[in-house]
Structure formats: structure tokens, C-alpha cells
Amino acid sequence: MILNQFLILSAFLFCVGMYGVLARRNAVLVLMSVELMLNAVNLNFIAFSARLQDVSGQVFALFVITIAAAEVGVGLAIVLLIYRNFASPDLDAVDQLRG
Amino acid sequence: MLDAAWIIPLLPALSFVAILFFGKKLPRGGAEIGITTVAVSFALSCVTAVQWFSHVDDAQGGAEGLGAIGRSMLGAAEGHGAVVEPVVHSVTWFQSGAMKFGVGIQIDGLAVMMLFVVTLISLLVHIYSTAYMKDDVRFTYYYAALSLFTASMLLLVVSDNTLQLLVGWELVGLCSFMLIGHWWEEGANASAALKAFLTTRTGDIGLMIGIIITFFAAGTFNIVGINEYALSSGADHTLMLVGASCLLMGIIGKSGQFPLHTWLPDAMAGPTPVSALIHAATMVVAGVYLGARLYGVFWNGFTIGSGGFNAMAIIGAITIIIGAALAFVQDDIKKVLAYSTISQLGYMVMGLGVGAWVGAVFHLFTHAFFKALLFLGAGSVSHSGSHHSFDMKKDMGGLRRHMPVTFWTFIIGSAALAGILPLAGFWSKDEILATANQGDFEVFAAVGLIGAFLTAAYMTRCVYLTFLGTYRGHGKPHESPKAITVPLVVLAGFSVVAGLANAAPLGIEKFKDYIEPSFAFPPVTVPEFDYGLAAASFFIVVLAIGAAGFFWFRREELHALRGLTERNASARVGYRFLVNKYYLDDLYEGVIVAGIKGPIAQASYWVNQYVIDAAVRGVGKGARLVASGIYTVDQEAVDGTYNAIARETGASGGLLRRTQTGRLQWYALVLFAAVGLFSLALVIAR
């Protein structure tokens, strides 16, 4: 089994996610990009788990999936409130904490 | 009930709160609450008294059972029976360091006697007031104040320590103030209330100092403890003398003794039932009660046991004479009775001063009944006979036919006050005089006899002007309603029989047996009944009534005496001297108050302006110089440092705030950049 392919895929997905988080203006898309980054990390965990014959990597991946589900629940609620208050899902409008 | 006597003052206190909150909503304006609770308190007081009697009987019966030797030892120590300790219960009120301040009850003969008197007269006055105060604007308020007064007086009576006694003492003073000024719409009534309050407060200063002195001498506020200390051989006599003198000041203020008696006649501005309850029967005897309670202190301080003269007896004797003399020139029936009260309180204080503890307390007991009776009788006259006037010369006279019940009860009260055998006043007055005569105080016994003569004479005058002769008023006199006459009849009954409680020649000496303490009590001498003295005092009383009666009935024929004050200069001077109440009020208001207002105020103003102010100003200037130096340092050095720090912080903040855009993705970018940089650093370091 070649580890490199998994790592490259994972790095690619992570970069795509990071780009989404930093560059997209739509809050829903930002949230989806965060999911993408989490799954990239999961892929990394599982790849090393298989390589090292250690099950704890997979356990970690399961935990991350669980946390991600909770995070989406909270995140969507926040997005919904942002939409209600600003009448758009645009994150650039939310800059009330500017110093 | 001996252990639970605290309920007796508690009930009227609850009644006070209840009347205040619900009185106006009730059909009888709160009177029903007051009457019910005081009636219950009265019943409980009777139970307490009966239990105390059996308590004493048990103790003495037990002592007799010890056998002849034990009894003779005990008998030698106390003169009669066994030592019966008072029933004392107290709980800690508050604690300061190791010192505990208690609140509690002390039930003994004196306390049960006072409980009986206070609750009985309070109950009768409550009933009487339903008619007398009918349709009054502040009827409910009046009953609330009566309840508060009863509670405070009972608190004073049962207290086992001087601090609690002081609380009750001040509370009854407050109630007296409230009730004298009950009709405050008239300025004179409000001033009378204020005068009563301030004059008694003058005496209270002494009382407070006395309490402090006895505390530091005996190391306790407990009455039993103070008496025990004062009678122990290690007691400091000088300290006791000063303490007793200070306590005597409190007695002088509260019990209307010379020279602070001037508030009591003015206190007649209050409603008449209040005068009967507070200014005749209960509150004014609080001073005498204090003297009887802390008798050990007075006994030691004034060396009463050794005869001669002492401040307490002298004050009492002066008060007897000046009070009785002033009663002759009053036209207001209540003022006659007020001066009479002052005079009779003088008997009690003199009695304490000459070692006649039993006599003084016995006189307190009998006086409460007949003087309350006389006041309530005067109230009945003004209520139904003289159209709310108290002027005997203008609005009364000849009321005998119109108000038979009031007349006969008033006659009984007057006879009891004058000391006619076998009514109450005779026995108690005689007890005091006999003790004075046999205990090396002959001068005071003589003063007492003169006082008896004056008392009988002015009461004859009072009865004549009010009930005999022809009616001079303008109303339609009629007998008072039942609520007024029933208390009169009850009190008349007590005025007849109360004296028999301690009638020595009949072999009844309940006061000596049950009321006189046998624990922590000085060895007072209880006199043999003196038939000669009793006969003399009775003869003097009859003589006085005869002389006064002769003068008043045959006035028209006594040309030599008519208009005496107009024709004879010295008689006029004497009359004016009495009418002006020995110029004592003028002394207090004109000299002392004006002195304080005038020159003394001027002098203190000058001292204030030129001495104290100058000093204060000098200190102020110096302080200002120092302060301005400190101010400069403060402004330049200290503030400069902090300002610089603040300024730099602000500037750096201004720069850094630009990083705070408030945009989420900017923060995320910084985060990722930082993570990236740290990762890079980690990789390079490896």
C-alpha cells in the first residue's frame, strides 16, 4: 500500500477546504469547507491507522465525525441567525466587532 | 405561670401590632382587641400571684420541717420564715466578648404585686375609655398607644436586669409623650407632651449613669446580682453612694419629685383615662419601683440603716409638702389630683429613704387604686357633668344630686387618700410613718403628719367645689354611662379593702409575708403597729377635714378671711407664690432656658467663633500648605508617570486595533498563517 497517494489526496482536500473557509463569502459554503477540512484530517488518520496497524487512528476518526455532526448543528443555527439579522448569508457584512 | 410570666407583657405588645394593622377595620375600632388581651394578661397576673404565694408558703413550710435548730438559724438570719429566691429566667440577648447581656424575667413578690396593679388598672382604663373616648378622631391610635404602654410597663416590671428595665422605662416615657399629646391640634397639649418628655429625660441621664456605675461596681446588670454586691461586705461605699445618687435622679424625673415635678401637672393635658393610668397609678410609680428593686444600692449608698438624714428621704419630704401646698390653689380638678399625686409619690420616696420598704410599696399599691379612682371620677364629671371642662370654680358644684355614683365613689377615693380608717390610704401611710418614727427618722414622721393634714384639707376643698354647693356650669349634668361607672365602683371597692392586705393590728401582714423579698435584701425593720401615732394621724386628718369644711361651708360668714389676699400683703405674696408654683417653671424657662439661650449661648458663640474656629482655621491653613505641596508632587510626578503609561498604551492600542477588523475570515487567515509559520519553524528546527 502506498501511503503517499492518501496523503496527497488529504493535503489537497485540506487546501481546498482552507481556501473555501478563507475566500468564500457565503456562510453555508464556509461551513461546508470546514467539513471538507475535517474529512481531510479523517483521511489522514485512517491512512496512518492502516499503515501502522493501530486501531486508535480509526477511533479518532469516529470521534471527529461525531464532533463534526455536532458542529454542523451549532454552525447552521448560527448561520440561520446571521441570515435573520442581516438578511443575507454574506460573512463580510458581519463585522460588528471591528476595533 | 411563674416560669412563663413573659407572656404577660407579650400579649399587649401583640395587641399593639394587631390594633395598628387591623384596628380601623374592626367594628369597635380596635378597642375589643385591647380589652381582650389586657383581660387575659390580668387573669394570668392573678394566676402568677397565687402561684407565687403558694411558692412562698411551700418554701417556708419546708423550712419549718427542718426542725427547731434549722428554723432558728434561718429565722435569725432573715427575721421571718425561709429565704425565698425570686424566680429568674433569662436568655442571652447579645454577647460582647465574654460579657453576656440577658433578657429575662424576675418574678417575686414585688413583681407580682405590680403585675396585678398594672393589668387591673389598665383593664379598667381600657373599658372606661370606650365611653370616654367615644367618637374621638384617633380612637384606634389611642388604643394602640394604650396597649403599647401596658406592654412596656409590664416589661419594666418583670425585667431581671437593669438594661431591660431601662428599655421599658424609656418606652413608657415614649407612650406618655404620645398620649399626653393625643390632642396635639392644640399647641399647649403638644408643648405639655414635649415638656414631660424632656423633663423626665433630664432625670434619665442620671439613671443611665447610675446603671453604668452599678454595672462596673457589681460586674453585672442583673438586679439580684447588683443587690447582692451592694449588701456584701466588700462593696465600695463611695461607688454605691454615687450610684444611688444618680439612680435617685432618675426617680426624681420619673416619679415627679422636687425639683423635676413640674411636668406632671402639665401632663394633665392628655385624656383623663391616660392621666389615671399613666400619671397616677403606673408610670409615675416606676421611679418608686426602681428604688424598691435596687434597694440594696440605696440602703448601702445612703446608709439608710443608721438613721439621720439622707438625700432620698429629704427629697421625698420636700415633695410631700410642696405638692400638697400647691394643690390648694388649683382651680382645675385634674391639677389638684396631679399635685396630690406628686405629694403621695413623695410619701413613697420618703418611705424608701427612711427604710420603710414595705410601707412605700404598700402605699404604691393602695395609692394606685384610689388615685386612679379619683382621676376616673374627675373624668366622669367632665364627661357628663361639666361639659368637658375641668374648672371646679366655673363649671362644677352641686353635682352630688346629678351624679350619685360618681359622687360616692369620689368620696370613697378622697377618704382613702386622706387616710380615714379603715380605708386603704390609712394603713399604708401609717406604715411609712411608723417606720420613720421607730427608725430614728422622727423629723420625717412629723413631715408626714403635716402632709396628712394638708392632704385631707385640699381634698375637702376639692370635693366641696365639685360636688357640693350650687351648680355653676351651663350644661345638663347627668350620670355617666355604665362603661364609666363600673370601673369607678370596682376601684372604689379596692380602695376600701386594699388597705386590709397589710393591716398589722388585725394580724394580717400579707406584704411582709409575701411581697417583701427575703433574698439579697437589706435588713429593714418592720415596725410594731403604733397606736399612738395612728390615733394622732387620724385625729389630724379629721381636724383638717373639719377645718377645711368649716371654711368652705361657712365661707360667707368668715369676714376676716374673705378677700384676705386682697387686703393683706403677706397673704397675697404667699398666694401668688403658690399660684406661680414657687416660680419653678419661671426658674426653668426664664432663668435656665433663657440663660442658655442668652448669655451662655452668646459666650459659647464667642468661644466658638474666636477660639475654636481660630484653632480650626489655623489647623486648616497648615493642612492646606502641606496639602498643596503634596498636590504638586501628586500632579507632576505620580500623575505624570501614570499619564505617560496611559498615553503609550493608547498609542500602541491605536496601532493594534487595525488588526481587529471584526471579519471572521481575516481571523481565520491569521490563525492558519500562524499555524503554518509554527509548522515551518518546527520543520526547520528538526
Q: What is the pLDDT of residues B529-540, one digit of tens each?
A: 778 888 888 888
Retrieve residue B604's grid coordinates. 459659647
Mean pLDDT, chain A, integer: 90
Q: Please answer yes or no on whether A95 and B662 come within 8 Å at the CB atom.
A: yes
Q: pTM of the full predicted structure?
A: 0.70
Model pLDDT, residue B660? 84
Among B660, B661, B668, beta carbon nearest to A22: B668
Domain boundaries, chain A: 9-90
Residue with the three cell numbers 432625670:
B203
Kindly tell me if the per-residue pLDDT of A1 is higher than 80. no
Q: What is the pLDDT of residues A9-37, one digit of tens each?
A: 999 999 999 999 999 889 999 999 999 99
Kindly tell me if the per-residue pLDDT of B293 is higher than 80. yes
Model pLDDT, residue B658? 84
Mean pLDDT calculated for residue range B225-250: 87
Residues of A in contact with B660 (CB under 8 A): 97-99
Residues of B in contact with A98 (CB under 8 A): 660-663
Angle B286-293/B333-353 helices, nearest 10 degrees? 10
* Residue in B closest to A95 by C-alpha: B662
Model pLDDT, residue B64? 47
Q: Please answer yes or no on whether A23 and B665 come within 8 Å at the CB atom.
A: yes
Residue B658, chain A, CB below 8 Å: the answer is: yes
* Residue in A closest to B671 by C-alpha: A22
Q: Is B268 helix (H, G, I), strand (E, B) or coil?
A: helix
Q: Where are the alpha helices (DSSP H) in B329-423?
A: 333-353, 357-380, 392-395, 404-418
Mean pLDDT calculated for residue range B660-686: 90
Model pLDDT, residue B569? 64
Q: Cα distance from A82 to chain B (closest Cα, Å)?
A: 13
Residues of B in contact with A41 (CB under 8 A): none
Q: Cα distance from B655 to chain A (closest Cα, Å)?
A: 10
Model pLDDT, residue A13? 95
Residue B99, chain A, CB below 8 Å: the answer is: no
Interface of A with B in 9-48 (CB under 8 A): 18, 21-23, 30
Mean pLDDT calculated for residue range B294-323: 85
Model pLDDT, residue B566? 59
Q: Cα distance from A63 to chain B (closest Cα, Å)?
A: 23
Residues of A in contact with B655 (CB under 8 A): none
Pair B549, B460: CB distance under 8 Å: yes
Model pLDDT, residue B78? 43
Residues of A in contact with B669 (CB under 8 A): 22
Kindly tell me if the per-residue pLDDT of B565 is higher than 70. no
Highest mean pLDDT among A52-61, B57-66, B574-583 belongs to A52-61
Interatomic CA distance for residues B50 and B39, integer angstroms: 17
Q: Please answer yes or no on whether A99 and B668 come within 8 Å at the CB atom.
A: no
Among B656, B662, B669, beta carbon nearest to A22: B669
Kindly tell me if the per-residue pLDDT of B388 is higher than 80. no
Mutate to test the interface with B, among A21, A24, A78, A94 (most CBs of B within 10 A): A21
Q: Cα distance from A93 to chain B (closest Cα, Å)?
A: 8
Interatomic CA distance for residues B248 and B287, integer angstroms: 8
Mean pLDDT calculated for residue range B376-404: 80
Q: How far is CA B677 from CA A15, A22, B674, in A?
A: 16, 17, 5
Residues of B in contact with A22 (CB under 8 A): 665, 668-669, 672
Mean pLDDT calculated for residue range B430-452: 84
Interatomic CA distance for residues B647 and B630, integer angstroms: 24
* Residue in A closest to B672 by C-alpha: A18
Residues of A in contact with B679 (CB under 8 A): none
Q: What is the pLDDT of residues B358-380, one digit of tens each?
A: 888 889 999 999 999 999 988 88
Mean pLDDT calculated for residue range B490-502: 85
Q: Please answer yes or no on whether B664 and A91 come within 8 Å at the CB atom.
A: yes
Residues of A in contact with B661 (CB under 8 A): 95, 98-99
Residues of A in contact with B674 (CB under 8 A): none
Kindly tell me if the per-residue pLDDT of B155 is higher than 50. yes
Residues of B in contact with A97 (CB under 8 A): 660, 662
Model pLDDT, residue A76? 92
Q: Tell me the pLDDT band of B70, cut-offs 50, 70 and 90.
A: very low
Mean pLDDT calculated for residue range B300-313: 82
Q: Please answer yes or no on whether B672 and A22 come within 8 Å at the CB atom.
A: yes
Q: How far is CA B552 from CA B312, B454, B546, B563, B570, in A?
A: 36, 15, 10, 14, 22
**Please, which contacts does B194-202 make with residues 24 or more away whose CB atoms are closer than 8 Å?**
B195/B262, B195/B263, B195/B266, B196/B263, B196/B264, B196/B266, B196/B267, B197/B173, B199/B253, B199/B260, B199/B262, B199/B263, B200/B173, B200/B176, B200/B253, B200/B254, B200/B260, B200/B263, B201/B173, B201/B253, B202/B253, B202/B260
Model pLDDT, residue B77? 42
* Residue in A closest to B667 by C-alpha: A22
Among A22, A94, A99, beta carbon nearest to B660: A99
Interface of B with A in 664-683 (CB under 8 A): 664-665, 668-669, 672
Residue A4, chain B, CB below 8 Å: the answer is: no
Interatomic CA distance for residues B39 and B121, integer angstroms: 10
Q: Please answer yes or no on whether A99 and B663 come within 8 Å at the CB atom.
A: no
Residue A82, chain B, CB below 8 Å: the answer is: no
Greater pLDDT, B550 or A10? A10
Among A21, A23, A95, beta carbon nearest to B663: A95
Model pLDDT, residue B577? 67
Q: Please answer yes or no on whether A96 and B664 come within 8 Å at the CB atom.
A: no
Q: Is B531 helix (H, G, I), strand (E, B) or coil?
A: helix
Closest CA to B199 of B121, B147, B265, B116: B265
Retrieve residue B264's grid coordinates. 406632671
Residues of A in contact with B656 (CB under 8 A): 99
Model ipTM value: 0.87
Residue B25, chain A, CB below 8 Å: the answer is: no
Q: What is the pLDDT of residues B467-482, one digit of tens each?
A: 887 777 777 778 888 8
Residue A94, chain B, CB below 8 Å: the answer is: yes
Greater pLDDT, B396 or A40? A40
Specify the DSSP element, H or E, that contains B551. Answer: helix B531-553
Q: Where are the alpha helices (DSSP H) in B588-638?
A: 594-595, 601-606, 613-633
Number of other residues whose CB lies within 10 A of the CB of residue B186: 11
Class of domain A9-90: mainly alpha
Kindly tell me if the per-residue pLDDT of B560 is higher than 60. no
Kindly tell me if the per-residue pLDDT of B439 is higher than 80. no
Q: What is the pLDDT of residues B74-112, one digit of tens each?
A: 443 444 556 778 888 888 877 777 777 888 888 888 889
Residues of A in contact with B658 (CB under 8 A): 99
Mutate to test the interface with A, among B659, B663, B666, B671 (most CBs of A within 10 A): B663
Pair B344, B419: CB distance under 8 Å: no
Mean pLDDT calculated for residue range B161-188: 88
Q: Cα distance from B656 to chain A (closest Cα, Å)?
A: 9
Q: No. of H helices and E strands in chain B?
A: 31, 2
Mean pLDDT, chain B, integer: 83
Residue with the three cell numbers 400579707:
B510
Q: What is the pLDDT of residues B606-652, one digit of tens each?
A: 888 888 888 888 988 999 999 899 888 888 888 889 899 999 999 99
Quick one: CA torsion of A42, A47, A48, A52, rounded to 10 degrees?
140
Kindly tell me if the per-residue pLDDT of B335 is higher than 70. yes
